[in-house]
């Protein structure tokens, strides 16, 4: 059994910098035609000079691959002139509430302070991407943030808002409440719950933020993905960390899935008799939502064993050492 995917897209990736970028960026640029690159570096990507330097480093890391990096800026209060200069260089601006995830200390502390920039983005047609969590109890942080999404969607009805890496049934239900709200979802949140992370011995390589939730949340996410809900896109949130940052007392948040995402998604969709919807989930919906036209790339997957390496360099992937039912046969 085989399936061909045309110009698959990963709408949420972390490529890091330096040696880590040179290790992981090619692993996404090979099977994917494009991806949305997150800006929460140190220092953050929050100005044109930083953006252009980061893009140049990325282009060098993936030289020879047919892959379009859709760049983003880290949210801060931008002037109209700054946004005008950046508009043609970015797909959107990523808003992080201060301190909720990796390298987000410089994020937004009060939504009212962000209002002028949000209004400018709405006027200029620049999309907003949001890490939607509060600083409350860990299992309720995304659910508690829904009221903020509601406020954003009502105040800025022409602002395209993407709820990044949603993990709850509440977020799935919110998708249909406003026409300007969309979402990405990860591989890990479609297949695991908190029980897989901490139900037995702690599995640090499944720990991410937002944290995996309850079975009923996973089922809601899975139903939306398998049915190719038109407002939902695949975004891996593939987030590499060195082994010593994951297997430590202060475990870093992030699951590394880039090299195995497409085979595991094919396996998942086949298990639910939904292979016909995989193309929309990994490409068609994103193209329609953002109006992007990625490079032409055809990835043929086949139902044959793929043994996931125990590590890529010093980064341990999801399913390390395990065998998946599907593999990548060819990339053209």
Beta carbons of 132 and 174 less than 8 angstroms apart? no
Residue with tokens 């390390």: 320
237 is catalytic: yes
**What's the CA gap between 134 and 155, in Å, rounded?**
19
Count of beta carbons in the 10 Å neighbourhood of residue 318: 25
Other beta carbons less than 10 A from residue 298's beta carbon: 13
Q: Answer for the pair 20, 240: CB distance below 8 angstroms, yes or no.
A: yes
- How big, in percent rounded to 5, are the helix, strand and coil portions of the chain? 40, 20, 40
User: For tokens 């999801």, what's the residue?
Assistant: 318
Instruction: Report the relative pairing of strands 298-302 and 327-331 from DSSP bridges.
Output: antiparallel
* Cβ 261 vs Cβ 187: under 8 Å: yes
Given 237, 273, 314, 325, the catalytic residue: 237
DSSP lists the bridge partners of residue 331 as 299
Other C-beta atoms lying within 10 Å of the C-beta of residue 161:
22
Cβ–Cβ < 8 Å for 92, 39: no
CA 145 to chain centre: 18
- C-alpha 261/C-alpha 255 separation (Å) is 11
Peptide bond into 160 cis (omega under 30): no
Cα 235 to its chain centre, rounded Å, is: 3
List, by residue number, the catalytic residues. Answer: 237
């Amino acid at each position: 059994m085989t399936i061909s995917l045309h110009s698959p897209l990963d709408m949420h990736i972390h490529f890091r910098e330096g040696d880590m970028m040179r290790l992981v960026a090619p692993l996404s640029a090979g099977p994917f035609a494009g991806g949305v690159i997150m800006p929460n570096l140190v220092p953050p990507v929050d100005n044109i000079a930083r953006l252009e330097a980061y893009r140049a480093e990325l282009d060098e890391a993936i030289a020879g691959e047919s892959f379009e990096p859709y760049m983003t800026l880290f949210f801060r209060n931008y002037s109209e002139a700054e946004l005008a200069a950046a508009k043609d260089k970015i797909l959107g601006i990523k808003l992080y509430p201060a301190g909720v995830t990796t390298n987000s200390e410089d994020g937004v502390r009060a939504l009212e302070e962000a209002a002028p920039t949000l209004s400018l983005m709405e006027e200029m047609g620049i999309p907003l991407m949001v890490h939607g969590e509060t600083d409350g109890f860990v299992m309720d942080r995304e659910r508690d943030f829904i009221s903020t999404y509601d406020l954003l969607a009502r105040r800025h009805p022409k602002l395209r808002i993407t709820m990044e890496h949603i993990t709850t049934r509440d977020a799935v239900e919110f998708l249909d409440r406003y026409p300007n709200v969309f979402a990405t979802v990860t591989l890990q949140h479609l297949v695991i719950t908190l029980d897989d992370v901490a139900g037995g011995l702690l599995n640090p390589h499944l720990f991410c933020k937002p944290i995996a939730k309850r079975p009923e949340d996973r089922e809601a996410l899975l139903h939306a993905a398998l049915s190719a809900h038109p407002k939902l896109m695949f975004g891996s949130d593939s987030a590499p960390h060195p082994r010593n940052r994951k297997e430590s007392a202060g475990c870093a948040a992030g699951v590394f899935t880039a090299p195995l995402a497409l085979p595991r998604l094919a396996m998942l969709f086949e298990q639910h008799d939904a292979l016909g919807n995989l193309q929309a989930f990994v490409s068609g919906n994103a193209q329609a939502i953002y109006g992007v036209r990625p490079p032409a790339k055809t990835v043929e997957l086949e139902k044959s064993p793929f043994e996931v390496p125990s590590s890529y360099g010093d980064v341990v992937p999801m399913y390390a050492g395990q065998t998946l039912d599907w593999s990548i046969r060819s990339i053209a």
